[in-house]
Amino acid sequence: MRLVLLLSIFLTLSGCNTLVSSATKDLADNLSQAIQNQNDPDTVRQGAPAYLIMIDSFIQGSPDDTSLLIAGSSLYGSYAGAFATEDPDRSRRLTEKSLQYALHALCVELPDLCTISQQRFPEFQQTLQKTGKKDLPVLNAWGIAWAGWIQSRTDDWAAIADIPKVKAIMQRVVDLDPAWDNGNAQLYMAVLNAFLPAAMGGKPDLAREYFEQAIALSEGKNLMAKTLYARYYARMVFDRELHDNLLNEVLSATAASPGMTLINTLAQEQAQQLLNESEEFF
C-alpha cells in the first residue's frame, strides 16, 4: 500500500491523472477478485470493512467513474447480504449506500434514465426498452443493488412494492444477454419470483424455471443457486425431497471455483444450516 500511495502521489504531481485512475481501477478490480476467491469467510468478514472505506476513498477521488461506482455498489451489497443480515439497521445502511452508488452510476452512464425510479410501472417498463447491451454493467448493478435494498426492508411494504420494477430490470438484463454474468440475473429473477407466496403475487413455477436456468448457465459451479433454490422454492412448496437433494449436492460439491469460491463457501455453510433444520421445517 505504501508503494501504491507513493506511486499515486508521484503521478498526481506529474499531472498523470489518467494513470492514477487506471491504477485505482486495477487495484479495485484486483481487490474484488481476491475477495471472490477467498475460501475463509471470517477473513473477509473481518477485513472487508477496511476495503469498504478504501473503495469510498477511490470514489471520492473520482465521483463520476462508473467502474468504481459499480465496484463500490457490489462490495457494499455483497458485504451486507453475507455478513450484516443479523443487524437490520446496519444492513439497511449498507444496502442504501450500495443502491446510491448504483443509481449514481446509472445517472452518469444513462442521464436520460436518471429519474426512472420515480416513474409509474408502465412508463418504467417502456423506458427500460431504451437500454442496450452496452448498458448491461450498470443495469445489472442497479438491479442487484435494488434487490438487496428490498431484502433488507422486508417489513416495509413500500419497499416490497418495488419488486416489480426490480424484476423488470433483471428481465431486461436477461433479454439483452441471457448468459450475462454466468446467469446471475436469472438467479435474481428466481428469488424475486419466489420471494412472496403465490397468494401474494409470487410465482413459484416461474421461479423454478429461473433457478434451473441459473444452475445450467453457471454449469453448476454457482452453489448458491442450489442453496437458494432449496430455501426459496423447495420450502415454499414443501418439497422436502427436492430440498434435501439440492442441499446435499451443494455439500458434496467442490467450493473452489474462480470468482465463486467465497460465495460457494457461504452457500455450503447455509446449506448445512438449512439441512439441519429440515426435519423441523417439514
**What is the residue extent of each domain of the chain?**
26-177, 179-282
For the cut 70, the answer to whether the pLDDT of residue 21 exceeds it is no
The confidence score (pLDDT) of residue 169 equals: 97
Average the pLDDT over 6-21 and give the result. Answer: 40
From 25-34, 165-174, 265-274, the region with the lowest mean pLDDT: 25-34
Orientation of helix 66-83 relative to helix 41-61, angle to 10°: 150
Cβ contacts of residue 58 below 8 Å, gap of 6+? 24, 27, 28, 65, 68, 72
Average the pLDDT over 78-87 and give the result. Answer: 90
The confidence score (pLDDT) of residue 12 equals: 41
Report pLDDT digits (tens) over 146-192.
Answer: 999 999 998 999 999 999 999 999 999 999 999 998 899 999 999 99
Q: Counting Cβ atoms within 10 Å, is residue 280 exposed (0-12), middle (13-18) or buried (19+)?
A: exposed
The confidence score (pLDDT) of residue 23 equals: 61
Above pLDDT 70, what percent of the chain? 90
The confidence score (pLDDT) of residue 35 equals: 80
Alpha-helical (H) ranges within 14-120 are 17-36, 41-61, 66-83, 88-109
Side chain identity at residue 11, one-letter code: L
Total-model pTM: 0.87
For the cut 70, the answer to whether the pLDDT of residue 282 exceeds it is yes
From 23-32, 107-116, 138-147, 220-229, the region with the lowest mean pLDDT: 23-32
For the cut 80, the answer to whether the pLDDT of residue 51 exceeds it is yes
Task: Quickly state the pLDDT bin for 25 (edges 50, 70, 90).
Answer: low
For the cut 90, the answer to whether the pLDDT of residue 18 exceeds it is no
Among the listed residues 225, 236, 153, the one whose alpha carbon sits nearest the alpha carbon of residue 200: 236
Q: For the chain, where are the E strands, in sequence order?
A: none
For the cut 90, the answer to whether the pLDDT of residue 119 exceeds it is yes
Distances (CA, A) of 226 to 215, 248, 253: 7, 10, 11
Report pLDDT digits (tens) over 123-133.
Answer: 999 999 999 99
Topology classification of domain 26-177: 1.25.40
Most confident of 6-15, 40-49, 265-274: 265-274
Average the pLDDT over 11-23 and give the result. Answer: 44
Report pLDDT digits (tens) over 156-166.
Answer: 999 999 999 99
Among the listed residues 171, 253, 168, the one whose alpha carbon sits nearest the alpha carbon of residue 209: 171
- Indicate the helix (H) or strand (E) that contains 124: helix 121-128
Task: Quickly state the pLDDT bin for 24 (edges 50, 70, 90).
Answer: low
**Mean of pLDDT over the chain:** 88
Orientation of helix 184-194 relative to helix 204-217, angle to 10°: 160
The confidence score (pLDDT) of residue 16 equals: 37
Q: Cα–Cα distance between 62 and 142 in angstroms, integer? A: 19
For the cut 60, the answer to whether the pLDDT of residue 9 exceeds it is no
**Is the distance from CB of 224 to CB of 215 less than 8 angstroms?**
no
